[in-house]
């Protein structure tokens, strides 16, 4: 089983592979399945910005395409001054497959961490509305 620091390292290495010719804003993610399998993702830009895919969704889509739908943790890392948070679309996609109490670790360029749960990031996801 990998350690949290190994997951952080994977997310930080991942963002070096981001395809960001327009924004120059690399982001990496490491999504951890319930069994400890990890999936990394990077943001992949497109000249039509609406077709850009974020690192978090890339990791989720890779995992789901391999048959994984239950997760225990996600790390999101960027070359930012403050720890980086996922966009609203990524929060909603994560809520489709992850519990509200799943830990989310946000990491900045210097390794500073912010620890939250998915529910704290998205308290009113479509999945929780009646």
56 is catalytic: yes
Task: Report yes or no: 57 and 91 within 8 Å, Cβ to Cβ.
Answer: no
Give the active site residue among 45, 56, 81, 96: 56
Quote the DSSP letter at residue 2. Answer: -
Task: Flag whether 98 is marked binding.
Answer: no
CB neighbours (10 Å) of residue 95? 20
> Residue 115 phi/psi, 5° resolution?
-105, 130
Task: Flag whether 54 is marked binding.
Answer: yes
CA distance linking residue 80 with residue 63, whole number of Å? 26
Task: Flag whether 87 is marked binding.
Answer: yes
Q: Which stretches of the chain are DSSP H helices?
A: 4-14, 55-65, 88-97, 118-121
Q: What are the catalytic residues?
A: 56
Q: Which residues are annotated as a binding site for Zn(2+)?
A: 54, 87, 90
């Amino acid at each position: 089983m990998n350690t949290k620091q190994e997951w952080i390292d994977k997310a930080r290495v991942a963002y070096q592979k981001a395809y960001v010719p327009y924004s120059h804003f690399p982001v990496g993610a490491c999504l951890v399945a319930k069994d400890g399998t990890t999936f990394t993702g990077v943001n992949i830009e497109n000249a039509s910005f609406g077709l850009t895919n974020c690192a978090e969704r890339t990791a989720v889509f890779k995992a789901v395409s391999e048959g994984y739908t239950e997760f225990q943790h996600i790390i999101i890392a960027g070359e930012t001054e403050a720890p980086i948070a996922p966009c609203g679309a990524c929060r909603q996609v994560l809520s489709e497959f992850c519990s509200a109490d799943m830990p989310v670790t946000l990491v900045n360029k210097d390794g500073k961490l912010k620890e939250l749960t998915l529910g704290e990031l998205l308290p009113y996801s479509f999945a929780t509305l009646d």
